[in-house]
Structure 1
Amino acid sequence: MTKQETSFQPATLPDLAALKARFAPLFERIREGANQRERERQLPFEQIKWLKEAGFTALRVPVEFGGSGASLEQFFDLLIDLAAADTNIVQALRGHFALVEDRLVAPRAEGEVWLRRFGKGEIAGNAWSEIGKVKLGETITKVTPEGEGFRVDGEKYYSTGTIFADWIDTYAVRSDNGAPVVAILRADQPGIDRLDDWTGFGQKLTGTGTTTFKGAALEAEGLVPFETRFRYQTAYYQLVLDAVLSGAALAAVQDVAGKVAARKRAFSHGSGTVARQDPQVLQVVGRARAFASAARAATIEAARAADRAYETSLADDKAADDAANIAAELASAEAQVAAAELALRATSDLFNALSASAADTALGLDRYWRNARTAANHNPLIYKERILGDHAVNGTEPVFIWQIGAVEN
């Protein structure tokens, strides 16, 4: 039996225009309260519930299991639309969407149980990173055989989305043989503590913080060897952040354009007309709009490369799969570098279209830059730029999996 016969085959794709029309009113509803939530640090529990109920969290889940069966290109197009409504929510769901993708490329017998859950609206959070004295290449969190299943002990930080989730997707090692594994645990059980203690100046509402495991129960179906994780995962994780960057820029343009259109005051040393007719002000908005559109285009182009990696993951041609994964990794890095540069410029330069009143905290215009800056600091792009250059000059394959930790001087 071939891999194609045991995996989930791409079905007929849904109509993107119909999906956009379906979710647009919900995105607008989410957008309406985004500034207030950010000012008052209101975690978007209700808004994520809306997305679950509307089927957005099951976009990539096959239709047979209750999802929409969207392609990655369609998915990231819609994810940018959601990011333009609230960047926090997109990053909060990053771990969930990655786990959906992983179960899509798993053998059917292993993936189906999870896809059925996701099709019903259940979601997962991410708990992979460890901080403190953990050494580079080391993982402290352990999975230990216990009875009919396993127990998990350890502490994670940057646990994006876990506080909203039904399941937690975490990285650990087995205590009995040291093998790296992915553990998928039910979130609302004794032995798991989830904190909203993220102190970053941006993306404050992503539910990022500390997750502690103390003898948390893990069923056998939730233990996955790390080496079977979907190969294009690093490209995928980065693409979600590229969507955040694109959405932040697009939202900033829309917000500032509306404020320019409504502005009644003018400067004597300007054009002498209201802001909406001042050619220099219009140039500022137009330039930022071009930057935001370019960031979106780069992200969607990279999503097409990820689509090809998904398709080859279901086939039996290793050479084609290797090539597709390299292309997807490079494309996501290119989009990262471009989207970060363009989004940060757009969300900063747009202040030139307004005056001192733009700094009023009630307007929340600073959140677009803060959120974009925070997203841009993930997966440091200085290393991605070097990797892109090394490939262009020397043909060196990109780094797919990396870790962070303390090193000895």
Structure 2
Amino acid sequence: MTAHQHQLPAALSNGTDYESLAARFRPIFARIAEGTVERERNRALPYEPIEWLKKAGFGAVRVPQEFGGAGASLPQLFQLLIELAAADSNVPQALRGHFAFVEDRLNAHAGQSQETWFKRFVAGDLVGCAWTEVGAVKIGDVITRVSRKGEQWVVNGTKYYSTGSIFSDWIDLFARRDDNGQDVIAAISTRQPGVKQSDDWDGFGQRTTGSGTSVFEDAVVEEENIIDFASRFKYQTAFYQLVLLAVLAGSGRGALRDFSAEVGKRTRVFSTGNAAAVNQDPQVLQVIGKASGQVYAAEAATLRAAAAAQRAYLAHFGADAEAERQANIAAELESAQAQVASVELVLRATSDLFNALGASATSVAKQLDRHWRNARTASSHNPVIYKERIIGDWHVNGTEPPYVWQIGGGAKQS
């Protein structure tokens, strides 16, 4: 055994008793659910719900127990996120950047102590993200820069889709160093005048995720919080996709719950129906039953893909580089396969459930359409058509999937 292997941490987040863990948070999830329709109707950001979760230690569920966290496995984390998404699908997506940064610090712990960050997570600190640039940026370029100014390192640039950052204590920001051209992650405190955030996301779904613009003007970043992007955990894209899959599965769960309740209390029937009460109409019950199966399959696919990501996490702490590589390939492919299945299943379920009710189901007051709108929006990230091609390329040609991708301006066509 090498000296480096002796330094590997014994504390890994390999799982805990799920029912005990979930019991801590289910009362909060129920409380969050109570205000979801009103927040959706008024486009009110979920500051209070996120604060409830923060104080309850939700952001530290993946932190090893030895450092004060829950030590949850990845399947357990994503099962929790599905439950939370059923209450309000905006909230887990708002926490997407946080859990990704936690995951990165968990992986970094293989080579160095991350106790400082673990303590922050346990204390309730949340991390947002700011990666995407808009405008004239081309594929492969990074406009946001980290540079030296006097005795300090500062960040200047503008990011869009800054999901969750408006609720956060820190921002996980993708940038490029001016001195050496290296791509880095800058972990920036939001408690400074150089960080300005706006809630200007204008999508028709997932409207309260805090996914707007972040502007950085000489925002100070400590040198120890400038992290080489090449060291980022390798299954990161699978992880980000898994959060969206949890959002999808939870949206399906929420839709199934709400439509079932509406069917159960509906008194008006159609003359073309099959029973004197809607809740006894076999065709209506079939609609609910089919949606239940679709949501079940989406959730099962998500948790199976989460198990692959957990294996990649554990492989990072082993001494077998090829085993880790294969685990990362599996994590990426399985998250993509689950995406292909879940998008179709949940979009179909959240649309077809309207067949169980009349036109009154389209009432803005009820906000039943939010489930489809939110699922459609979450499904639009990381285009599924490209994931299908990547999966096919692996099966046919053995081509390893990409672990990082970007969006930006392409070459002009003649």
Q: Kindly provide the amino acid, as one letter, of the partner of residue 64 in structure 1.
A: E
Provide the rounded CA distance (Å) in 1 between the counterparts of 2:410 and 2:284: 49
Asked if residue 351 in structure 1 is aligned to residue 358 in structure 2, the reply is: no
Deviates more, 1:106-115 or 1:225-234: 106-115
Task: Verify the 8 A CA contact 1:8 1:105 in the aligned structure 2.
Answer: no
Q: Which residue of 2 aligns with 1:362?
A: 365
Deviation (angstroms), 1:10: 1.7
Provide the rounded CA distance (Å) in 1 between the counterparts of 2:380 and 2:276: 40
Q: Structure 1 12/125 Cα, relative in aligned 2: closer, same or farther at 3 Å?
A: closer
Q: Kindly provide the amino acid, as one letter, of the partner of residue 91 in structure 1.
A: Q
Length-normalised TM-score, structure 2: 0.97
Q: Kindly provide the amino acid, as one letter, of the partner of residue 255 in structure 1.
A: D
Deviation (angstroms), 1:11: 5.3
2:250 paired residue among 228, 247, 251: 247
Deviates more, 1:113-122 or 1:142-151: 142-151
Provide the rounded CA distance (Å) in 2 between the counterparts of 1:11 and 1:345: 35
Task: Give secondary structure in 2 for the equivalent of 1:155.
Answer: strand
Q: Which residue of 2 aligns with 1:31?
A: 33
Q: Which residue of 1 aligns with 2:58?
A: 56
Deviation (angstroms), 1:391: 0.8
Deviation (angstroms), 1:134: 0.5
Provide the rounded CA distance (Å) in 2 between the counterparts of 1:3 and 1:40: 54
Deviation (angstroms), 1:115: 1.2
Provide the rounded CA distance (Å) in 2 between the counterparts of 1:276 and 1:214: 58
Task: Verify the 8 A CA contact 2:61 2:70 in the aligned structure 1.
Answer: yes
Provide the rounded CA distance (Å) in 1 between the counterparts of 2:5 and 2:212: 38
Q: Within 5 A, what are the aligned runs for 1:247-396?
A: 247-396=250-399
Task: Verify the 8 A CA contact 2:11 2:65 in the aligned structure 1.
Answer: no
1:140 paired residue among 125, 143, 146: 143
**Cα deviation 1:60-100 (Å, max 9, x = unaligned):** 01123221010001111111000111110010000000000
Q: Which residue of 2 aligns with 1:167?
A: 170
Task: Verify the 8 A CA contact 2:13 2:62 in the aligned structure 1.
Answer: no
Deviation (angstroms), 1:42: 0.9
Provide the rounded CA distance (Å) in 1 between the counterparts of 2:150 and 2:255: 53
Provide the rounded CA distance (Å) in 1 between the counterparts of 2:79 and 2:238: 16
Percent of aligned pairs with the same amino acid: 56
Q: Kindly provide the amino acid, as one letter, of the partner of residue 10 in structure 1.
A: L
Provide the rounded CA distance (Å) in 2 between the counterparts of 1:44 and 1:4: 44
Q: Structure 1 7/171 Cα, relative in aligned 2: closer, same or farther at 3 Å?
A: farther
Structure 1, unpaired ranges of 5+:
none
Q: Which residue of 2 aligns with 1:116?
A: 119
Q: Structure 1 11/231 Cα, relative in aligned 2: closer, same or farther at 3 Å?
A: closer
Task: Give secondary structure in 1 for the equivalent of 2:7.
Answer: helix
Provide the rounded CA distance (Å) in 1 between the counterparts of 2:293 and 2:112: 46
Aligned pair count reads: 409
2:403 paired residue among 392, 395, 400: 400
Task: Verify the 8 A CA contact 2:138 2:410 in the aligned structure 1.
Answer: yes
Q: Kindly provide the amino acid, as one letter, of the partner of residue 87 in structure 1.
A: S
The CA RMSD over aligned residues, in Å, is: 1.2
2:89 paired residue among 87, 90, 104: 87
Q: Which residue of 2 aligns with 1:190?
A: 193
Task: Verify the 8 A CA contact 1:7 1:105 in the aligned structure 2.
Answer: no
Asked if residue 103 in structure 1 is aligned to residue 105 in structure 2, the reply is: yes
Q: Which residue of 1 aligns with 2:231?
A: 228
Q: Structure 1 82/200 Cα, relative in aligned 2: closer, same or farther at 3 Å?
A: same
Provide the rounded CA distance (Å) in 1 between the counterparts of 2:172 and 2:5: 25
2:42 paired residue among 40, 43, 46: 40
Q: Kindly provide the amino acid, as one letter, of the partner of residue 86 in structure 2.
A: A
Q: Structure 1 140/9 Cα, relative in aligned 2: closer, same or farther at 3 Å?
A: same
Deviation (angstroms), 1:272: 3.2
Length-normalised TM-score, structure 1: 0.98
Q: Structure 1 110/170 Cα, relative in aligned 2: closer, same or farther at 3 Å?
A: farther
Q: Structure 1 11/193 Cα, relative in aligned 2: closer, same or farther at 3 Å?
A: closer
1:215 paired residue among 193, 208, 218: 218
Q: Kindly provide the amino acid, as one letter, of the partner of residue 70 in structure 1.
A: A
Task: Verify the 8 A CA contact 2:13 2:73 in the aligned structure 1.
Answer: no
Provide the rounded CA distance (Å) in 1 between the counterparts of 2:10 and 2:39: 39
Task: Verify the 8 A CA contact 2:13 2:63 in the aligned structure 1.
Answer: no
Structure 2, unpaired ranges of 5+:
none
Task: Give secondary structure in 2 for the equivalent of 1:170.
Answer: strand
Task: Verify the 8 A CA contact 1:195 1:209 in the aligned structure 2.
Answer: yes
Deviates more, 1:1-10 or 1:189-198: 1-10
Provide the rounded CA distance (Å) in 2 between the counterparts of 1:325 and 1:368: 32
Q: Structure 1 123/4 Cα, relative in aligned 2: closer, same or farther at 3 Å?
A: farther
